[in-house]
Amino acid sequence: MATSSPCVVIGDDEKGYDLDLFCIPKHYVDDLEKVYIPHGLIMDRTERLARDIMKSMGEHHIVALCVLKGGYKFFADLLDYIKALNRNSDKSIPMTVDFIRLKSYCNDESTGEIKVIGGDDLSTLTGKNVLIVEDIIDTGKTMKTLLSLLKQYNPKMVKVVSLLVKRTPRSVGYRPDFVGFEVPDKFVVGYALDYNEYFRDLNHICVISETGKQKYKA
């Protein structure tokens, strides 16, 4: 399925930026290889995604559904930009928010089976226009399963926005409606993406180092 929103494609040979060019928390300096997507670039891209979403879904009341925990930062920033558009343009849309927490893995392996372990009853989404906000699509299995789960509650429309989509041979071919960045098959952290709950407090999206993987291993 082709994405209706073009995205920034980061090539396999992208080297990233040296850590000492940016403000990195001291406790993470040895745990990261490179800054991959600087915070400012994330924010600019998110602003554009907000505009594209308004253009596509702007005739409707939207329920923005945040997939926790990794999606919370992108969700908050995206909604801030949509609220700014509501204030400053001719077209504005009423928006309500909801949260869902999923479990889709055993240790570090995705099972492809998802359990909803937090959030409201999905029946509140019946007849609504739903925008699912996700931090990263890896294989796409979790999102496909979530979409089929939502379908049972008959929402009027469902669109998905993901900050990142990973280029991986493990992909089932799922592509969201709106994509921020397409990234190579590397383990990235920061901007609320975690490694065993660490690195959520990092502004930039970075590639974790082997030292970091060992230090924060569960």
Catalogue the active-site residues: 138
Quick count: other Cβ atoms within 10 Å of Cβ 84?
A: 12
Query: What is the distance between the alpha carbons of residues 23 and 35, in angstroms, rounded to a whole number?
Result: 10
Q: Which of 179, 125, 134 is nearest to 157 (CA)?
A: 125
Does residue 192 contact residue 13 with C-beta atoms inside 8 Å? no
Does residue 176 contact residue 145 with C-beta atoms inside 8 Å? no
Query: What is the distance between the alpha carbons of residues 41 and 129, in angstroms, rounded to a whole number?
Result: 29
**The tokens of 110 are what?**
């995705």
